[in-house]
Amino acid sequence: MLALQRLRKTFSTPQGKLQVLGGVDLHLARGESLALMGESGSGKSTLLHLAAGLDTPDSGQVVIDGQSLSELNETQCALLRRQQLGLVFQQFHLVPSLNVADNLSLQARLANKEDPGWSRHLIERLGLAGREAHYPEQLSGGQQQRLAIGRALAVRPSLLLADEPTGNLDEQTAGRVLELLLELVKETRCAMLMVTHSGRVAAPLDRSLRLHRGQLQDAVA
């Protein structure tokens, strides 16, 4: 589903070249969830951005559903991102002027993949039934993040990329949101790559890897 092949990325800094990824290989299957851990500055966000096609590697390639991103031009890459990727961040990035129903279907509408039946099902699963006409500011933090997850899944993405998706929530709420997220990943059979600092968050995922000195290694619990 997602393959990272010999991915290298170096940044230029005032102190010289900084190699962040030194030839990273990774394979993620459909329905599989992977926690990406590592110290601050180890390159987790860099890897996530490359996987999302938001940045380009120095060498190596990102393959999503058999399609190498390096073979696509910017417009094609944006289309693939819209249609096949779901992105969830620590900040919910909901549109304040749109209600719950419209926030949920926003990405699907932009991707021409609107499916009212699936949206209704998601609203139910997210525990937001009856709240469709409410605006983000009327929701709790946990409800807002559930809505952001629903927006990402409304396109039925083949790959979900999540950057600390429960980082802004209290522990109890975070636990419930994570549980729901994992259920929905299994239900939709998308692959999920999740950046997290927390061993507790990583534990229920299928696998955990740690970025260290530009390489992926098995994470020690």
Ligand X SMILES: Nc1ncnc2c1ncn2[C@@H]1O[C@H](COP(=O)(O)OP(=O)(O)OP(=O)(O)O)[C@@H](O)[C@H]1O
- Footprint of ligand X on this chain (CB under 6 A)? 11, 13, 18, 20, 38, 40-46
Identify whether the C-beta of residue 124 lies closer than 8 Å to the C-beta of residue 184. no
CB of residue 79 to ligand X, shortest distance in Å: 25
Compute the chain's Rg from CA coordinates: 17
Which CB, 41 or 116, lies closer to ligand X?
41
Complex with ligand X: residue 128 or 162, whichever CB lies closer: 162
Pairwise CA distance, residues 73 & 65, whole Å? 17
Asked whether the CA dihedral 118, 123, 126, 127 is positive or negative, the reply is: negative
Distance CA(140)–CA(150), nearest Å, equals 15
Could you tell me the smallest distance in angstroms from the CB atom of residue 43 to ligand X? 4
Neighbours of 64 (CB within 10 A): 24
The torsion angles phi and psi of 89, rounded to 5 degrees, stand at -120, 170
Least distance to ligand X, CB of residue 213, Å:
12
Report the relative pairing of strands 59-64 and 67-68 from DSSP bridges. Answer: antiparallel
User: Residue 68 is encoded by which pair of tokens?
Assistant: 């190498």
User: How far apart are CB 105 and ligand X at their closest, in Å?
Assistant: 30
Our CB check for ligand X shows the closer of 13 and 97 to be 13
Structure tokens at 19: 């190699």
Report the distance separating Cα 54 and Cα 61, nearest Å: 13
Least Å distance, CB 214 to ligand X, is: 10
Looking at the Cβ atoms of 20 and 184, the one nearer to ligand X is 20
- Based on CB atoms, which residue is closest to ligand X, 104 or 193? 193
- Which residue, 41 or 127, has its beta carbon nearer to ligand X? 41
Separation of alpha carbons 133 and 153, rounded Å: 20
Cβ 21 to ligand X, closest distance in Å? Answer: 9
